[in-house]
Structures are given as C-alpha cells and as structure tokens.
C-alpha cells in the first residue's frame, strides 16, 4: 500500500522569499500598475549581481542599471514586452553600483495574480559577461582570419594585387568584394590585380566572382587585371561566364601583367 502523501496548498511569503534567495540568478519583481513600473522586490542574487542593496532601490525603475553604452534597441524590446505583457529574453549592457559593466541576460515574465487581480513582472537576471567576451574574441579571430585570407598588397601608388589561395565560396566571395571595394574607395587606384594561381579548384563561383569583381571595380573607375589564368580555366570560362564583352585583361603570370603596366606607363 502506497504512502498517503498530502501536499500543502499554503506556502508562507517568508518561505518563498527564502527559496528565491537560494536561486543563483538575480530575481527582481516590478509592479507595472504603479507609476514608472517600480521594483517591489529583489533577492540576494540581484544584490550580489548588481552591488545594490534592496532597501536602496525599492521603488525605482530598473533603468538605473543602464548606461550610455546600453543598446537603445534592446531597451525598446523590454519596454514593448512590458507594454504588451509578453515574455522576453534579451541581453543588456548593464552597470553595477561600482560602475563596472556586465552583460545581463534578462528573462522577463508577466505573472498575473488572481488574488491581486493584476499583473506583475518577474525578471530573472544572469551575468553572461564571460560568454559575451568569448564570443567577441571568436568574432575578432574570425575577422582576422578573413583579413589574412584576402591580403591586398600594394605594388605601386596606382596598383595593388590580391593573391587568392584555397577555395572561394559565396561567403568568402562577399568578403573579397567588401574588402576590395573599401580598399579601392580609400586609395583610388587605377589598376587592381587578381591573382588566381593559388586557387585550389575552378568552379562556377570563381568565374562569376571574377565577373562581379569586374563590375564593382568598373563602377569605381578601376581596371581589373586577372593573372594566373591558365588554358584550362580559359576553356571553362567559355561555359561558366562570358568575359568577351568585358574590359578585363588576362595574363598567365603576375610578371607578365606588371611588364604590361610598366610599358603602358612609359
């Protein structure tokens, strides 16, 4: 015969407060029915996270955690969620009492209490600064790898070269177009060499990429010169992309292209 288990339907406010204090995250409760949606409760986790003692911030709006660097769009997301009584999760740049910045992962939930006949908002806050810093570090490394994979090398005051190595997919092609566009806009060069000698395989993406780069540079008044263009690629280009109507010069080697430019400038 199983045990006769009875569950109590009454849990004291004091018990709930003690239970919430054991939660690792910060918990804050606000009352949107009062002017400026003030804080009516915080747990010890919130005090530890922000450095503000509860008695110092009761009656205040949570915006005191914001600073000049807090993203206004993220703040608007929170404001709209409160207005529409919706749950939301957002990461905010907040500041502790000592001025130290931290990334605050805020989970906001509307809770309707039948006994009070109104809705409160419960915010669960977690410090995710370390994760955000790691994400920013990874993003920086990826950006650096991208930059190193598209090394634009100035040859003269009017000419630069981009030696491509490895494979070219759509993502890398977009990075190339963006970097070359920024470089030419900054330098105003007359000639830009694209060396394809290090390309691991020729496919439609490479051919159409050359065409898109030509179109970009042509609009900027810069001439595209392609080197490393061997017979196999020339035959494939007839099927993949039509260069016949484009003012693109092709050379087998960089040396040949530079020799042409030298003669042209005499």
Q: What would the pLDDT profile of 74-123 be if each residue is shown by its tens digit?
A: 999 999 999 999 999 999 999 999 999 999 999 999 999 888 889 999 99
Q: Write out the DSSP string of 27-94.
A: EEEE-TTSTT--EEEE-HHHHHHH---HHHHTTS-GGGG--TTS-HHHHHHHHHHHHHT--EEEEEEE
Comparing 60 with 11, the larger pLDDT belongs to 60
d(Cα 214, Cα 197) in Å, to the nearest integer?
A: 18
Same domain, 125 and 155: no
Same domain, 116 and 212: no
* CATH number, domain containing residue 182: 3.30.750.24
Eight-state DSSP code of residue 252: S
Same domain, 155 and 120: no
**Distance from the first to the final alpha carbon of the chain:** 105
Q: Give the pLDDT band of residue 142 (cuts 50, 70, 90).
A: low
The residue among 264, 239, 248 whose CA lies nearest residue 210 is 248
Q: Residue 196 sits in which domain range? A: 150-264
d(Cα 68, Cα 177) in Å, to the nearest integer?
A: 34
User: Is residue 137 a part of any domain in this protein?
Assistant: no
Same domain, 39 and 80: yes
The residue among 174, 179, 168, 192 whose CA lies nearest residue 144 is 179
Total domains present in the chain: 2
Six-digit token pair at 188? 């105003």
pLDDT score recorded for residue 16: 61
User: Is residue 232 a part of any domain in this protein?
Assistant: yes
User: Is residue 93 a part of any domain in this protein?
Assistant: yes
Per-residue pLDDT tens over the stretch 203-219:
777 778 888 889 899 99
User: Is residue 65 a part of any domain in this protein?
Assistant: yes
Contacts of 256 (CB under 8 A, 6+ apart): 227
d(Cα 10, Cα 24) in Å, to the nearest integer?
A: 25
Comparing 137 with 112, the larger pLDDT belongs to 112
Same domain, 44 and 106: yes
Q: Give the pLDDT band of residue 165 (cuts 50, 70, 90).
A: confident
Length of the chain: 266
pLDDT score recorded for residue 1: 44
Residue % of the chain over a pLDDT of 70: 79
pLDDT at 238 over 70: no
Helices (H) and strands (E) in the chain, counts: 9, 10
Same domain, 155 and 257: yes
User: Is residue 145 a part of any domain in this protein?
Assistant: no
pLDDT at 15 over 60: no
Six-digit token pair at 81? 């969620």
The label of the residue with tokens 């439609």 reads: 204
Six-digit token pair at 44? 């010890």
User: Is residue 136 a part of any domain in this protein?
Assistant: no
User: Is residue 134 a part of any domain in this protein?
Assistant: no
* CATH number, domain containing residue 81: 3.30.450.20
Same domain, 108 and 178: no
Six-digit token pair at 100? 């130290």
Range with top average pLDDT, 90-94, 132-136, 138-142, 226-230: 90-94
The residue among 188, 191, 214 whose CA lies nearest residue 265 is 191
User: Is residue 181 a part of any domain in this protein?
Assistant: yes
């Amino acid at each position: 015969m199983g045990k006769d288990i009875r569950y109590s339907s009454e849990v004291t406010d004091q018990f709930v407060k003690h239970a919430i204090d054991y939660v690792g995250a910060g918990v804050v409760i606000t009352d949107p029915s009062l002017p400026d949606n003030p804080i009516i409760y915080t747990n010890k986790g919130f005090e530890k996270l922000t450095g503000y003692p509860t008695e110092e911030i009761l009656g205040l709006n949570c915006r005191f955690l914001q600073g000049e660097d807090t993203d206004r769009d993220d703040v608007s997301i929170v404001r709209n969620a409160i207005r529409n009584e919706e749950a939301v999760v957002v990461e905010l740049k907040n500041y502790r009492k000592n001025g130290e910045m931290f990334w605050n992962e805020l989970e906001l939930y509307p809770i309707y209490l039948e006994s009070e006949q109104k809705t409160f908002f419960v915010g669960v806050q977690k410090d995710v600064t370390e994760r955000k810093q790691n994400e920013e570090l990874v993003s920086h490394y990826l950006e650096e790898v991208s930059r190193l994979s598209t090394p634009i090398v100035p040859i003269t005051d009017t000419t630069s070269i981009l030696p491509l190595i490895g494979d070219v997919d759509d993502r890398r092609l977009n990075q190339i177009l963006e970097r070359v566009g920024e470089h030419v806009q900054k330098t105003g060069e007359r000639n830009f060499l694209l060396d394809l000698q290090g390309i691991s395989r020729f496919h439609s993406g490479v051919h159409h990429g050359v065409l898109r780069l030509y179109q970009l540079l042509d609009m900027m008044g810069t001439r595209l010169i392609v080197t490393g263009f061997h017979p196999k690629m020339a035959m494939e280009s007839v099927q993949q992309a039509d260069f016949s109507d484009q003012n693109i010069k092709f050379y087998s080697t960089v040396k040949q292209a530079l020799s042409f430019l030298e003669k042209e400038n005499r």
